[in-house]
A and B are shown apart, each in its own frame.
Chain A
């Protein structure tokens, strides 16, 4: 049982390049989340999904797109990277949100945009 995994662990992009971050969970969780963590800003929600085929915007969605084609995977895309997207990205999942339910986090992806 690997829990929540993220690939890649590190990535350096040039401004304007695109990339996709992959999150996978093997806990059969319904809900999945993408957060970014910046110094002094705490963790902020980018997008989330309440089930396969569904996505919704979080607090800071601009410049990002997501897809949840399979229940166990949640993809975060950057179509045209900007330096302001330099951050550490965390994926999380939870069984549901119909009750206070624990979100379990992956190890993170450190992205630098030059």
Chain B
């Protein structure tokens, strides 16, 4: 069964304290792995797509990496405005219709 597990469920950081969020996945053929950011009361906002093991993508203080079993979202010197829930999702290669399988998310809080 295809599955996505994110850890930790919640993470509290001080401003400037770098850390990483984990997304472990089990899927029969990975077509793509997606990272989204979700602010309270809003819809998920796209951050990154990773396609193959070894790939890395960066955006401001965020860097996403991918291996054959997991992805990491590294946050360097976070600011309070980085506080949000970060969602990971995978798309399987056999999947007709582009269905995404989501993890439960990591709620990040950055205190000044």
Tell me if chain B binds chain A.
Answer: yes
CB neighbours of B103 from chain A (8 A): 42
- B-contact 0/1 string along A91-110, CB 8 Å cutoff: 00010110111111111100
Tell whether B44 is near chain A: CB-to-CB under 8 Å: yes
Nearest CB of chain A from residue B95's CB, rounded to whole Å = 7
Q: Which residues of B contact A105 (CB under 8 A)?
A: 36, 43-45
Q: Which residues of A contact B105 (CB under 8 A)?
A: 42
Range, interface on chain A:
20 to 34
A100 close to B32 (CB less than 8 A): yes
- Chain B residues within CB distance 8 Å of chain A: 4, 31-32, 34, 36, 41-46, 49, 51, 87, 89, 91, 95-100, 102-105
Residues of A within 8 A of B (CB): 4, 31, 33, 40-45, 48, 50, 56, 58-59, 90, 94, 96-97, 99-108
What residues on B are CB-neighbors of A42 within 8 Å?
4, 87, 102-105
The answer for the CA separation of A59 and B101 in the assembled complex, in Å, is: 10
Query: B50: nearest residue on chain A (CB-CB)?
Result: A100
Is B42 a contact partner of A108 (Cβ separation < 8 A)? yes
Q: In the complex, which residue of chain B has the Cβ closest to the Cβ of A91?
A: B43
Are A41 and B104 within 8 A (Cβ)?
Answer: yes
Q: Cβ of B44: which chain A residues have Cβ within 8 Å of it?
A: 43, 90, 105
The interface residues of chain B lying within 8 Å CB-to-CB of A101 are: 98
Chain A residues within an 8 Å CB radius of B4: 42
Give chain B nearest CB distance to A7 CB in angstroms.
Answer: 14
Q: Establish whether residues B91 and A100, one from each chain, have CB atoms under 8 Å apart when the complex forms.
A: yes
**Chain B residue contacts of A40, Cβ below 8 A:** 104
Complex CA–CA separation, A50 to B42 (angstroms): 25
| Contacts A/B (CB < 8 Å), 8 sampled | A31-B98, A42-B102, A42-B103, A50-B96, A56-B97, A102-B34, A105-B43, A108-B42
Closest residue on chain A to residue B51 by CB atoms: A100
B contact residues around A100 at 8 Å (CB): 31-32, 49, 51, 91
In Å, the complex CA distance between A56 and B41 comes to 28
The 8 Å CB contact of A108, one of B32, B36, B43, B91, is: B43
